[in-house]
Structure 1
Amino acid sequence: MATSTQLFFFLPAISFLPLIASSSYPYSIPQTTKNLVLNTIDSCWRANSNWASYRQALADCAVGFGKDAIGGKYGAIYKVTDASDDPVNPKPGTLRYGVVQTRPLWIIFAKDMVIRLKNELIVNSYKTIDGRGANVEIAYGPCITIQGVNHVIIHGISIHDCKPGKSGMVRSSSDHVGHRLGSDGDAISIFGSSNVWVDHCFLARSADGLIDIIHSSTSITISNNYFTQHDKVMLLGHSDQYKEDKIMKVTIAFNHFASGLYERMPRVRFGYAHVVNNRYDGWKMYAIGGSAEPTILSEGNYYIAPSNPSGKQVTKRIAKKDWKNWKWRTYKDAFVNGAYFVPSGYGTCAPYYSSAQAFVAASASLVPALTIHAGPLSCIVGKVC
């Protein structure tokens, strides 16, 4: 396998690809070009040096359960020029002003910025937050809430050191301001929402979870993200009593679960999780966990166990009884340094994707290369990302 230096070095070698004359890419870039290895999402767009002129074509590139998330694909481009924040009366040019609009918008950034939100950022339907071309951080305050909406894409943002939100008035749309009781301090909270895609983000060190997907949220893909330095990483399902989460379907693909993580990568309740082609650099407690009879397919992942001899098991069931009937399967995973997965249950664990959602999992041996650029990419206009 090529080294990481070789993989990065050969990226410019494919910049000769022709410019695109439509809003969608009419070709499929090969997954492997010389020593560059691209996963099935990145191969859709990263090798096009003219990506900045066709930003909204990114919406065609998701796979898995969040494939249909279109974000602001059919809306105007909105440019964030001002890093300030007003939770009630946001100014034009700020991020909050863009995300609360009722019309579809594809939101980009004019420059590098650190956005310190004064209260939770409530994102409306049909929005894309696209950080490509700038170094954008949402940090040191409350972070992102996706509640009761659909068709949201978040791409290429660093979200870290998130704090709980305050009780108070917060605008959720251009024509509605409501009283909020305060947010928990998640980096991204997805509550009662569908068709959501979170891709190529950096997430770390928040007061609660990094990503929570709860209250009947479904049709979601979490991909190409870099997670680090956190305890409770990702929760799927509100509680062991909230059976409405049975409809939840989430794809977790091509992420890098890096150093300093304890648990919940993810923890699942009731619903279905396809955990595929992710890299795990150890864990303090466990990697894959759950309660309340979830179904989990672990496929083609690269699990590196921690050095602690009592912490080699990938899985943890938080249960009093009957866990042996839960459908948890490992398929073509790679286990390093003594890692092992305890399967359970009977019958198929297949995700039953639609033809549009379906993709072929790569060999686990390729995962270190496929996840090497997890997190925000250094995209420069006129060059491949």
Structure 2
Amino acid sequence: MAVGSMRCSLLLVLGHLMIVAGGKGWFGGDTVSASRIGAAATAVVTKSSREKAANESFPAARSTGGREAVAGAVDDPELVASEVDMMISNSTSRRGLGYLSCGTGNPIDDCWRCDPEWHRHRKRLADCGIGFGRNAMGGRDGRFYVVTDPGDDDPVNPRPGTLRYAVIQEVPLWIVFKRSMVIILKQELIMNSFKTIDGRGVDVHIANGACITIQFVTNIIIHGLHIHDCKPTGNAMVRSSPSHYGWRTMADGDAVSMFGASHIWVDHNSLSNCADGLVDAIMGSTAITISNNYFTHHNEVMLLGHSDSYVRDKAMQVTIAYNHFGEGLIQRMPRCRHGYFHVVNNDYTHWEMYAIGGSAEPTINSQGNRYLAPVDPSAKEVTKRVDTDESVWKGWNWRSEGDMLLNGAYFTPSGVGASASYAKASSLGAKSSSMVASITCDAGALRCRRGSHC
């Protein structure tokens, strides 16, 4: 708690100084030091084609066909935005927490963090979602499962008490941890539907091995984890349910990888230094919220979309809100292909190449973010159209609305501003960019302790 509060105080002071300084570059010299990138600069790994074998590895339980994989797409996103605003305004009646409100301006945190009995009301978190992934209930309707064993000796026959044993079950589960632990996964953690992984109250690291795969499942919440140093694994048998295991080809080494998944919420995690992406969503994934995370020391941070030719990703809708994109990041925060993306109230304090990229006519709605450009005069632009001629991308709908652009940062808008297109890329009301420091200062895994505010 003390560490988080100190970081908040420092960020608030720095944010104020950046505004007063008028973005003249004094702050950028420290934040863009090449020595702080470390191994991330060489961590460029080309996406593999292993998803081609996915249906062979998990035939019955994971078959999608038709429109199933994009069933979570929202038909009326304007309704989503109005519902979220109403839920925030009426938080007392919805959540019974009006008397506990933190008043930070972060509606997720204000929903649950000020309750000193949060550990007795863990499942209340599932009612605090926002954006396109707001209906992800995770394991809310199931039992609690306590991870007591950090081991992962047998990915085909996991022991009861391990994280792998929990995530493959068919029933909803709210997964918590008995103590702090480092979990080194031998193979991908293949999740089943209706699961919450809740790391609050302890320090849980998934590191130095395989990481999390969310493939053709729904209703997943990942909260409060440190996920880092993920490695490529595979060419092995891995269990995906109590009744099925299959052959997995090589995984790329993503921290959190989504394939044809829907209703996913990734919140308050600290992610860094993986072999490929930190958060990737491909192959028709949709109804996703990525919020309150702290991203550091990585090259290609976030890829949203399988390929420029994979048109089923046109139904993709992702909310990226209240995250801190921090030191040692280079590009893809995110890179989008097809679909609709709401980038709202995030703090971008470091990039080496660009912050937001796209390559297949995505609609990008950037609202109320704070963008601090690096010192490098060739990297001031927030945006990048990847391998696309201006005659093509000038018709794409990309807009910046209420963003704070510091140290020479600039956002290149495009398109005709079609309201219908931006409606599909709107998922909640943006706060003023002047509030970004307070909204995001506790991004990442929280230091929560029982009996006190988290």
Among candidates 95, 110, 128, match of residue 43 of structure 1: 110
Whole-Å Cα distance in 2 between the matches of residues 7 and 203 of structure 1?
A: 18
Partner of 1:362: 431
Structure 1 residues 381, 32: CA separation in 2 closer, same or farther (over 3 Å shift)? Answer: closer
3-state secondary structure, aligned to 2:422: coil
Point out the structure with the larger helix share: 2
Contact 2:100 2:115 (8 Å CA) reproduced? no
Relative contact order (C-alpha < 8 Å, sep 6+): which is higher?
Answer: 2
Partner of 2:406: 336
3-state secondary structure, aligned to 1:316: strand
Partner of 1:15: none
The reply to whether residue 327 of structure 1 matches residue 397 of structure 2 is yes
Q: TM-score, normalised by structure 2?
A: 0.77
Gaps of 5+ in 1: 10-23
Structure 1 residues 235, 57: CA separation in 2 closer, same or farther (over 3 Å shift)? Answer: same
* Count of residue pairs the alignment pairs up: 363
The reply to whether residue 73 of structure 1 matches residue 166 of structure 2 is no
Partner of 2:233: 165
- Give the CA deviation at 1:68: 0.5
Point out the structure with the larger strand share: 1
Structure 1 residues 270, 352: CA separation in 2 closer, same or farther (over 3 Å shift)? Answer: closer
The letter of the residue matching 1:366 is M
Partner of 2:317: 249
Whole-Å Cα distance in 2 between the matches of residues 116 and 285 of structure 1?
A: 32
- Give the CA deviation at 1:369: 1.4
Whole-Å Cα distance in 2 between the matches of residues 133 and 25 of structure 1?
A: 22
Partner of 2:363: 295
The reply to whether residue 378 of structure 1 matches residue 447 of structure 2 is yes
Contact 1:223 1:252 (8 Å CA) reproduced? yes
Alignment map for 1:24-63 (pairs within 5 Å): 25-28=95-98, 33=103, 37-63=104-130
Whole-Å Cα distance in 2 between the matches of residues 7 and 230 of structure 1?
A: 22
The reply to whether residue 93 of structure 1 matches residue 161 of structure 2 is yes
- Give the CA deviation at 1:79: 0.2
- Give the CA deviation at 1:180: 0.7
Whole-Å Cα distance in 2 between the matches of residues 175 and 28 of structure 1?
A: 44
4+ residue stretches of structure 1 with deviation over 4 A? 3-9, 29-33
Whole-Å Cα distance in 1 between the matches of residues 5 and 183 of structure 2?
A: 31
Whole-Å Cα distance in 2 between the matches of residues 163 and 220 of structure 1?
A: 24
- Give the CA deviation at 1:27: 3.1
Whole-Å Cα distance in 2 between the matches of residues 362 and 48 of structure 1?
A: 23
Q: TM-score, normalised by structure 1?
A: 0.91
3-state secondary structure, aligned to 1:222: strand
Alignment map for 1:256-295 (pairs within 5 Å): 256-295=324-363
The letter of the residue matching 2:422 is A
Contact 1:4 1:369 (8 Å CA) reproduced? no
3-state secondary structure, aligned to 2:375: coil
- Give the CA deviation at 1:227: 0.2
Partner of 1:155: 223
Deviations, residues 309-357 of structure 1 (Å, cap 9, x unaligned): 111000000113410000000000000101010000011253458xxx9
Whole-Å Cα distance in 1 between the matches of residues 98 and 443 of structure 2?
A: 21
- Give the CA deviation at 1:219: 0.1
Whole-Å Cα distance in 1 between the matches of residues 409 and 250 of structure 2?
A: 39
The reply to whether residue 233 of structure 1 matches residue 305 of structure 2 is no
- Give the CA deviation at 1:166: 1.8
Q: Which moved more, 1:358-367 or 1:92-101?
A: 358-367
Whole-Å Cα distance in 2 between the matches of residues 329 and 62 of structure 1?
A: 25
Structure 1 residues 304, 29: CA separation in 2 closer, same or farther (over 3 Å shift)? Answer: farther
The reply to whether residue 350 of structure 1 matches residue 422 of structure 2 is yes
Whole-Å Cα distance in 2 between the matches of residues 112 and 6 of structure 1?
A: 22
3-state secondary structure, aligned to 1:98: helix
Structure 1 residues 121, 359: CA separation in 2 closer, same or farther (over 3 Å shift)? Answer: same
Identity of aligned residues (%): 56
